[in-house]
Amino acid sequence: MHIVMVSSECAPIAKAGGLGDFVQGLSRELAIRGNSVEIILPKYDCLRYDRIWGMHTVYRDLWVPFYDIAIRCNVEYGEADGLKCFFIDPHSQHGFFNRGTIYGDADDNDRFAFFSRAVMEFLLKSGKRPDLIHCNDWQTGLIPVLLFEVYTGLGMGHSRVCYSLHNVGHQGWTGPHILHMNRLDVGRLMTPERMLSPSNPHEVNLMKGGIVFSNFVTTVSPRYAWEIQHTDQGMGLQGVLQTHDRKFGGVLNGIDYSTWNPEIDPLIPANYTVDSLPTKALNKVALRQRVGLTDVFKPLVAVVSRLDKQKGVELIRHAIYYSLAQGCQFVLLGSAPDPAVNAEFWRIKHEMEGSPDCHLELGYNEELAHLIYAGSDIIVIPSVYEPCGLTQMIAMKYGCVPVARRVGGLADTVFDANYSERPFEQRNGYVFDDLTYDGLESALSRAIGLWYRFPEYFRQLRSNGMRQDNSWNHPGQHYIDIYNHIRA
């Protein structure tokens, strides 16, 4: 099958969060299974060019419609960790992808709508006729709309679209200008059953367009699929998802074990497996050295997260003080897009200056993330909502025990050591329900207590997590089944 994966992120070259991991992991799994997989991304100035091999121009002078003019683009090609990637490079004064960052500009809707249009134009002009176009999140929600409204009529009717929702907290709410920009019929598309925002009669909703016009819609865990159809976590899309229920389902993400595997990870000083768990302690020593903590007999509690409201920043903050008070060390790696949240964590960082037990690293650091998973004992994930969550799966693979709130994909992957109904060998962490200090403490205190009082039992929990299969094997097959279903 010829599959084109279109996304605003792909690890390790353009990653802001789990979407990047998804694109890398699923694409690799599909390729291993013998499919021809091509990834299309924007050519950001902030790509990790050191991880791209053989970059060269494969298509010149691609003229992409933009209002009543057209913008000239080149398309570059390179390989990233063996994956075939095409990069859309527009030449215009807008500098769409020359912002030093993937997201966060006032014209993000325009930037990614233009990207979507350029992708379709590239497929058309280069003669690519994929069996399957896999789109992701609001940034590429316009692609199924464009395919149906424009490109099917130009000979691309053979392609089917699978559309994955990674986070419905961001839907691409925008104005009708986005349709003018793409020369689409505003009257036809700005209707309740097509692209009109459920909550605002003057707004176009790019994610809703993706849902309505694609052949199948997935989201990244079964629990989140239920939550966004039936609770306010759908953020206004509940009705649309119920209407399109017959083409909607949750597929639990995998993680890429060629990237996230303590047995072969080149970014950690001491490799280990479930059978050589004591070696993990060497990584704890290295992590402490790296972040300036003393080498003492204490559990190391960690957070690796975007410091976004979604991630439960208030409880992350509380976890720092609570862990220290309970005789732990704490290390946090996080980046905060919100200036107020950023300022608060910088304040805590200054407060902890010189502490032998606490370190906050504010920013994005792929290499340090690997060392934290390998060197820590407990990871805290108190999300308000969590579509899938990769951190808990990565942490478990590295023998780090998750303390997580029971929402979305966390509920599908973390099973409480004391209260789960699953057999013991499937229990792998601690969970809590209430989004309160008490809720968090009810789980975190049990994890810390176990580390101190029952080390053998704690070791078994680590082993259970490491043995859990969260590879792309099952989800890979699930996606192939979906692709075959919509092609039939």
Binding of residue 250 to ligand ADP (CB under 6 A)? no
Residues 262-301: x where in contact with ligand ADP by CB under 6 A, - otherwise, as a string? ----------------------------------------
Distance (Å, rounded) from C-alpha 306 to C-alpha 290? 21
Q: Which of 7, 17, 330, 475 binds ligand ADP (CB under 6 A)?
A: 17
Stretch that binds ligand ADP, among 50-58, 75-83, 190-198, 332-340 (CB under 6 A): 332-340
Distance (Å, rounded) from C-alpha 450 to C-alpha 349? 28
CB of 470 to ligand ADP, least distance (A): 12
Stretch that binds ligand ADP, among 52-60, 134-142, 358-366, 463-471 (CB under 6 A): 358-366
Token code pair at residue 264: 């072969």
Residues 382-411: x where in contact with ligand ADP by CB under 6 A, - otherwise, as a string? ------xxxx--x-----------------
The residue number whose beta carbon is nearest to ligand ADP equals 18
The DSSP symbol for 416 reads: B
Nearest CA-CA partner of 162 in 135, 185, 198, 189: 135
Q: Which of 334, 402, 408, 476 binds ligand ADP (CB under 6 A)?
A: 334
How many beta carbons lie within 10 A of that of residue 158, not counting itself?
10
Stretch that binds ligand ADP, among 100-108, 197-205, 328-336, 400-408 (CB under 6 A): 328-336
Q: Toward ligand ADP, which CB reaches closer, 21 or 441?
A: 21
Binding of residue 338 to ligand ADP (CB under 6 A)? no
- For the purposes of burial, counting CB atoms within 10 Å of the CB of 288, is it exposed (0-12), middle (13-18) or buried (19 or more)? buried
Binding of residue 257 to ligand ADP (CB under 6 A)? no
The DSSP symbol for 294 reads: -
What is the spatial order of strands in the sheet that 248-250 belongs to?
52-66, 69-80, 83-91, 36-42, 2-6, 132-136, 160-165, 216-219, 248-250
Token code pair at residue 105: 């500009």
Q: Toward ligand ADP, which CB reaches closer, 365 or 468?
A: 365
- Site size toward ligand ADP (CB under 6 A) is 18
Binding of residue 369 to ligand ADP (CB under 6 A)? yes
Distance (Å, rounded) from C-alpha 403 to C-alpha 380? 5
CB of 164 to ligand ADP, least distance (A): 13
Residue 70: its H or E element: strand 69-80
Helix (H/G/I), strand (E/B), else coil: 218: strand
Determine the number of helices (DSSP H) and then strands (DSSP E) in the chain: 17, 17
Nearest CA-CA partner of 60 in 24, 36, 91: 91
Stretch that binds ligand ADP, among 13-21, 57-65, 201-209, 436-444 (CB under 6 A): 13-21
By DSSP bridging, strand 329-335 and strand 358-362 are parallel
Binding of residue 366 to ligand ADP (CB under 6 A)? yes
Q: Which of 116, 182, 238, 305 binds ligand ADP (CB under 6 A)?
A: 305
CB of 51 to ligand ADP, least distance (A): 15
Interface positions with ligand ADP (CB under 6 A): 17-18, 21, 304-306, 333-335, 364-366, 369, 388-391, 394
